[in-house]
Amino acid sequence: MCGTHGSRAPQASSAGQGWGRPWAAASPEEYSFEYGSPRYLLLCGLGGMLSCGLTHLAIVPLDLVKCRMQVDPDKYKGIFSGFGVTVREEGLRGLARGWAPTFIGYSLQGFFKFGLYEVFKIHYKKLLGEEKAYTWRTTLYLAASASAEFSADVALAPMEAVKVRVQTQPDYARTLREAVPKMYAEEGLWAFYKGVAPLWMRQIPYTVMKFACFERTVEALYKYVVPKPQCECTKAEQLGVTFVAGYIAGIFCAIVSHPSDSVVSVLNKEKGSTALEVLRRLGPLGVWKGLFARIIMIGTLTALQWFIYDSVKVYLNLPRPPIAEEPASLKKHK
pLDDT confidence tier of residue 329, bands split at 50, 70 and 90: confident
Residues 6+ apart with CB under 8 A from 251: 295, 298, 299
Say if 275 falls within a structural domain.
yes
Residue 81, amino acid: S
From 93-97, 235-239, 272-276, 286-290, the region with the lowest mean pLDDT: 272-276
Whether the Cβ atoms of residue 106 and residue 161 lie closer than 8 Å to each other: no
CA 11 – CA 8 distance, rounded (Å): 10
Say if 131 falls within a structural domain.
yes
Helix segments in the chain, DSSP class H:
38-58, 60-71, 79-90, 99-128, 130-135, 137-168, 176-187, 190-193, 196-220, 235-269, 275-286, 291-315, 328-332
Phi-psi region of 37 (alpha: psi -120 to 50; beta: other; left: phi over 0): beta
Q: Kindly state the average pLDDT of the residues 85-109.
A: 93
Q: How many domains does the chain have?
A: 1
Q: Kindly state the average pLDDT of the residues 95-121.
A: 95
Provide DSSP, 20-69: TSBGGGS-GGGSSS-TTSHHHHHHHHHHHHHHHHHHHHHTHHHHHHHHHH
CA 332 – CA 334 distance, rounded (Å): 6
Write down the pTM of the prediction. Answer: 0.78
Say if 75 falls within a structural domain.
yes
The CATH code of the domain that includes 256 is 1.50.40.10
CA 230 – CA 23 distance, rounded (Å): 9
Residue of 206, 213, 191 whose CA lies nearest to 153:
206
Say if 25 falls within a structural domain.
no
pLDDT digits (tens, 9 = 90+) for 20-73: 333 333 445 566 788 889 999 999 999 999 999 999 999 899 888 888 887 888
Residues pairing with 22 in the sheet: 234
pLDDT digits (tens, 9 = 90+) for 225-262: 988 888 788 888 889 999 999 999 988 888 887 787 77
Q: Kindly state the average pLDDT of the residues 317-332.
A: 75
Q: Which domain holds residue 223?
A: 38-323
CA 72 – CA 62 distance, rounded (Å): 15
pLDDT confidence tier of residue 306, bands split at 50, 70 and 90: very high
Say if 29 falls within a structural domain.
no
Say if 8 falls within a structural domain.
no
Say if 150 falls within a structural domain.
yes
Say if 182 falls within a structural domain.
yes
Q: Is pLDDT at 15 greater than 60 in this prediction? A: no
